[in-house]
Chains A and B, each alone.
Chain A
Amino acid sequence: GDSVTQMEGPVTLSEEAFLTINCTYTATGYPSLFWYVQYPGEGLQLLLKATKADDKGSNKGFEATYRKETTSFHLEKGSVQVSDSAVYFCALSDSGYALNFGKGTSLLVTP
């Protein structure tokens, strides 16, 4: 079945460092891909998404490109801030509601 694999954390970075969180997927069809983020004490929220190959999702300085040839959707940010400390989940969906999530990657950004 469809699945998502993302790099294990925790990831610890200094403020203004470059961030990459790797995500690869397996799917029988052509799913939509998502990054969700969970800030401390809050519910999961959609960070960005891409619905077809070569699409780039972006939001709050984060970007991810849907790469069909490498079945990847890596999350990147050029300069992280302390406020980016959170748990990041990669997910895919064929239906738009039954999301398949990865295990999550915890990010801690230190001043």
Chain B
Amino acid sequence: GAGVSQTPSNKVTEKGKYVELRCDPISGHTALYWYRQSLGQGPEFLIYFQGTGAADDSGLPNDRFFAVRPEGSVSTLKIQRTERGDSAVYLCASSFGSQNTGELFFGEGSRLTVL
């Protein structure tokens, strides 16, 4: 499809386990974003990539969270030693170029449940 693709759509894991969430942005979009949406809340900014580099990672809650985008396209959000409080929908978005207009194209999200 032509939209932002996220896998898996659902992930259930146990406390303490390691998790990877993948995002495949719209072809040609150089900017990529990760957001987290907890139940009953709006999305919360985590990290922004421009190309391969993280231009702003100020939203990552702690050092258990890490994201990469090695070739400037697909990105992986990595969560170590998961905690129950990490349960949320993780949203990926992408956009054209470096002009930050606020028009982000979101995927449907990866729902993470930590038991």
> Interface of A with B (CB < 8 Å)?
4, 32, 34, 41-46, 49, 89, 91, 93, 95-104
- Which of B44, B101, B107 touches A96 (beta carbons < 8 Å)? B101
| Residues on A with beta carbons closer than 8 Å to the beta carbon of B42 | 4, 89, 91, 101-104
Q: Decide yes or no whether B90 CB sits under 8 A from chain A.
A: no
Please report the C-alpha to C-alpha distance between residue A4 and residue B41 in the assembled complex, in whole angstroms: 12
A102 nearest CB across to chain B (Å): 5
- Let me know if A98 and B48 touch, CB within 8 A: yes
Interface centre among A34, A42, A43, A100 (most CB of B within 10 A): A43
- What 18 new A-B contacts, CB under 8 Å, besides A43-B91, A89-B43, A104-B42? A32-B102, A43-B3, A43-B105, A43-B107, A43-B108, A44-B106, A46-B103, A91-B102, A97-B33, A97-B48, A97-B100, A97-B104, A98-B56, A98-B58, A99-B102, A100-B45, A101-B44, A103-B42
